[in-house]
Amino acid sequence: MDYIIGVDGGGTGCRVAVAKRAGPMLGQAKGGAANIATNLVSARANILGAVEQAFENAGISPEKIAASAAVLGLAGANLGDFSTQLLATLPFAKSDIISDAETTLVGAIGEADGIIGALGTGSVYGRRENGVFTQLGGWGFRLGDDGSGARLGRDMLHRAILAFDNILPHSPLTREIIEEFQGSPRALIEQARSFTPKDFGAFAPRIVGAAKAGDENAEAIMAQHTEIVRKSLDAVGFEPGKAFSMLGGLGPVFLERLPARYKKAARTPIGNALDGALTLARQLSGTS
């Protein structure tokens, strides 16, 4: 096994890196959504397409893929038997599928004990204590992923409908949303039937911006999820003296809203989830 492969896959997209087994990163590529609990078939196609592209970008023959070791840190890996199904179809000489929370933690804090919160399209938390990894959350969009872009978007669309029905007061953002869907919840509800977490998550930047501008509905949603984020960090084992990082597109956003003790304890990540996947792939390549 001359080469190792790291994969970071989430609800919005996946990233792949290829490196020499005992050398530097040689090439990277991006692909489509890779949450295996959302759509296993398309996630597999997106991941393997990005792997081939990473090898091409590195100037390495794709034939070498079959002789490589790969670690895939994927959203949805902790749910059902999706990991087992995917693992059986992967073309690598040696491979492992783990939660994206674990690769994120390894990338962010290295070998230290500590915790991370990763909030993007989905959300998950992780802790390493005496070498043992523990995950909190990451239960998926339907019944979990509080603080994620997908949940923020879903909650805002719901709030826009409540405002339309005069159950809650309108705000600029809820009015904008209703107008974008032909001025009635009917079109919104019909389109939302086919929404993926990525589609809901597309509303997150507007919600964050509107909350900063004083939009009361956006602020209500952000405040609600901030409290859940805080409680999640405490539940996973936050301690001011241990390594702690907030990652993902929304991690820094929520960190700014948390009490001072969290902000003071937060460290700049030393790497990202892709770095973590490569580190673990390097370890995997050296095992029998």
pLDDT tens-digit series, residues 59-103: 999 999 999 999 999 988 888 899 999 999 999 999 999 998 999
Of 96, 94, 103, 30, the residue nearest 68 (C-alpha)? 94
The whole-angstrom separation of Cα 169 and Cα 167 is 7
Residue 24: pLDDT band (50, 70, 90) is: confident
Average pLDDT rounded to a whole number, residues 109-123: 92
What is the average pLDDT value for the chain, to the nearest integer?
Answer: 94
Q: At 22, is the secondary structure helix, strand, or coil?
A: coil
Percentage of the chain beyond pLDDT 90 is 86
Domains 3-110+270-285 and 149-265 share a fold: yes
- Quote the pTM value: 0.84
* CA 119 distance to own-chain centroid: 6
Q: Tell me, what amino acid is at 183?
A: G
Residue 288: pLDDT band (50, 70, 90) is: very low
For every residue of 112-160, DSSP letters joined together read S-EEEEEESSSEEEEEEETTEEEEEE---TTT--TTSHHHHHHHHHHHH
For every residue of 45-113, DSSP letters joined together read HHHHHHHHHHHHHTT--GGGGGG-EEEEEETTTTSTTHHHHHHTT--SSEEEEEEHHHHHHHHHHTTS-
Instruction: Indicate if the alpha-carbon torsion angle 24, 250, 123, 30 is positive or negative.
Output: negative
Q: Is the pLDDT of residue 141 over 90?
A: no
pLDDT tens-digit series, residues 179-226: 999 999 999 999 999 999 999 999 999 999 999 999 999 999 999 999
What CATH code would you report for 149-265? Answer: 3.30.420.40
Average pLDDT rounded to a whole number, residues 140-157: 93
Residue 2: pLDDT band (50, 70, 90) is: confident
pLDDT of 176 reads 97
pLDDT tens-digit series, residues 258-280: 999 999 999 999 999 999 999 99
CB 2 within 8 A of CB 64: yes
- The number of helix segments (H) and strand segments (E) in the chain equals 12, 9
The whole-angstrom separation of Cα 147 and Cα 203 is 13
pLDDT of 112 reads 87
- The residue extents of the domains of the chain are 3-110+270-285, 149-265
Q: Is the pLDDT of residue 287 over 70?
A: no
Residue located via tokens 């929370």: 101
Class level of CATH domain 3-110+270-285: alpha beta
The whole-angstrom separation of Cα 97 and Cα 86 is 8
pLDDT tens-digit series, residues 152-187: 999 999 999 999 999 999 999 999 999 999 999 999
Name the phi and psi angles at 79, rounded to 5: -115, 140
Expressed in angstroms, the distance from the first to the final Cα of the chain is 12
